[in-house]
Chains A and B, each alone.
Chain A
Amino acid sequence: MTDAAIDLSSLTKSYGKARGIVDLDLEVKTGEVFGYLGPNGSGKTTTIRTLLDLIRPTSGTATVLGLDAQKHALEIRSRTGYLPGELSLYEEMTVQESLDYLFALRGGAGTDRMKELCDQFELDPTRKIRDLSSGNKQKIGVIQAFAHQPELLILDEPTSGLDPLMQQKVYHLIDAARDEGRTVFLSSHVLPEVERIADRVGIIRKGKLIEVATVDELKDRAVRVVEVRFGSEGPDEQTLLKADNVVSVEQRRTTVQIRIEGSMDALIKILAGYEVVAMRSEEADLEEVFLDLYREDDA
């Protein structure tokens, strides 16, 4: 037994020609929100489906909630909430019938909470699934994943198709789950989302895990753009480039744009010797880190 909510060891899934996942090692701690990032087709969904025993690994093991994913699939599923990446429901059923069916498969667990969430998400229970927008369908997916308050939430692209207001509601649910000590494993290809809600991220590409780090660690590595306007003559380019972590400098009259990767301390100390009229720093963008990681891997 480990205290990890998810523990993958050399997990490999091969599909003939198509790529699956290769030799994946990953540990998600109990109680954390883990963002699983990667472009479409990188192996996110394959990993998730292995956790729920929907597909079986070619080699390696997956342990979920301390249990072998294959041998104890049933217990894992009853203690887990799952939101599939592409949610398909029976078109002829109403919202209420769909939810009733899914909750009956859990022996009725979470039915009260389901009603609360329906109100909260403004979901009309009498409508047919086939008449729903993709956003409204996604709400059903979210409700069936969260309502029984599982120990582990496995969410494949949880906010896809939701409008910003509903996205916020999902983020609140995830925050609340974290506050209650539940573990959340969510996949996404949208960086700001992961930045907003995850504690740690794993980045997968072409079936391989290429990075696992906290969001802060990644941000520290991010390239920031600092724009400084000097009152009188500012320092010249060479001086600025000498400061630690400065990547490039672009000067237009009294305004300088400095790209910096990592700590700004050395740069600030140099700037302190000049008359600084205004300074603006753009928030570190994970997108840059993400793209860099991908470029590095290509090189």
Chain B
Amino acid sequence: MTVFRHTIRSRRRSMIGWSLSLIGLIGVTVAAYPSIAGQEGFSDIIDEYPEFVQEILGLGSGLSINEPAGYLNSQFFSNLLPLLFIIFLVSFGVRVTATDERDGTLDLITAHPIPRRRLMLEKALAVLTTGAFLALLSILTFVISTPLAGMEISLSALWGATVSVFLVGVLFGGLAFGIGAATGSRGSALGITSGLAVATFILWGLAPLIDAINPLERLSPFFWALTGDPILNGVQAGNALLLLGVGVGFAGAGIWMFDRRDIAV
């Protein structure tokens, strides 16, 4: 597991930054809950919004911003947290594949006695592991901070909501890693992945509005992450496995293609 360890160690400093930012962000937002909870005016305004806007805001399914589940869903799980996981996993996924190749550092490593598939597999596992660490850290921060702010919310809700949106990150991270490994092109990996992330987010928001594209919402990873309201009902196993499976599939296909191509100088 030499490559796995090296890949994680290379991210040491950035991990410290990410960890502190996540803790701070979650801590501050949770701490602001008591001042929102008392203001019924907010939920009155939101109740006036069309249903799809409520959905996009993370306040569908009767969730209220004055209650813990609705507050956390609208502040984190339907927007910020999936975005952060996507940014982290996509950028790391591209860095260990296409960027490593463009910098020429991959050249000397692939000339060492390690099978190419093994090399890439260890890199993929390192990306997944560091991402999972950030997800666990988020859950831990929620678990510690919510009681302090007087929020009553179950562990299974926090766990379910975080894992679901983390898996959206895994799906896009797997795609970025797969394209990076298959092509060595940083531009393609970043461009295609971030383009698709934005497009599927918009699709998820608009599909319920427009009958013609309504069935297409099932193409959006955000749909699978938020359907079934994990913030109320805990992790939705089938949806979670689907997101994980597709992400792993993208990464696996990339590794398979990496094994069959020329390494750029």
Contact = CB atoms under 8 A, between A and B. Distances in A.
A52 B107 CA distance: 10
Given A45-B265, A90-B10, A77 B107 contact: no
Interface string B110-122: 1111110000000
Contact of A82 (B111, B114, B115, B263): B111
Interface string B1-25: 0110010001000000000000000
A92 B10 contact: yes
B107 A88 contact: yes
B262 A90 contact: no
A: contact size bracket: 20 to 34
Contact of B113 (A78, A87, A144): A78
B257 to A, nearest CB: 13
Interface stretch (A102-110, A114-122, A247-255): A102-110
Given A54-B263, A55-B263, A92-B10, A102 B112 contact: yes
A106 B115 CA distance: 12
A77 B262 contact: no
Contact of A88 (B6, B10, B105, B262): B105
Contacts of A45: 265
B113 A84 contact: no
A86 B111 CA distance: 13
A206 interface: no
**From A56, A89, A105, A141, residue with most partner B Cβ within 10 Å:** A105
Given A54-B263, A86-B104, A88-B107, A105 B114 contact: yes
B265 A101 contact: no
Contacts of A92: 10
Interface in B67-121: 103-105, 107-115
B104 A88 contact: yes
A42 to B, nearest CB: 15
Interface string B229-265: 0000000000000000000000000000000001101
A128 interface: no
Given A54-B263, A86-B265, A90-B10, A105 B109 contact: yes
Contact of A54 (B3, B105, B111, B113): B111
A77 B112 contact: yes
A229 to B, nearest CB: 53
Contact of B107 (A75, A84, A106): A84
A84 B108 contact: yes
Given A54-B263, A55-B263, A77 B111 contact: yes
B108 A82 contact: yes
B112 A105 contact: yes
Contacts of A52: 111
Contacts of B115: 74
B262 A55 contact: yes
Contacts of A74: 113-115
Contacts of B113: 74-75, 77-78, 105-107
A49 interface: yes
A54 B112 contact: no
A96 to B, nearest CB: 13
**From B107, B113, B114, residue with most partner A Cβ within 10 Å:** B113
B108 A87 contact: yes
Nearest to B105: A88
Contact of B108 (A55, A78, A89, A104): A89
B105 A90 contact: yes
A141 B263 CA distance: 19
A207 to B, nearest CB: 16
15 contacts: A45-B265, A55-B262, A55-B263, A77-B111, A77-B113, A84-B104, A86-B107, A87-B104, A88-B104, A88-B107, A90-B10, A102-B112, A105-B3, A105-B113, A107-B113
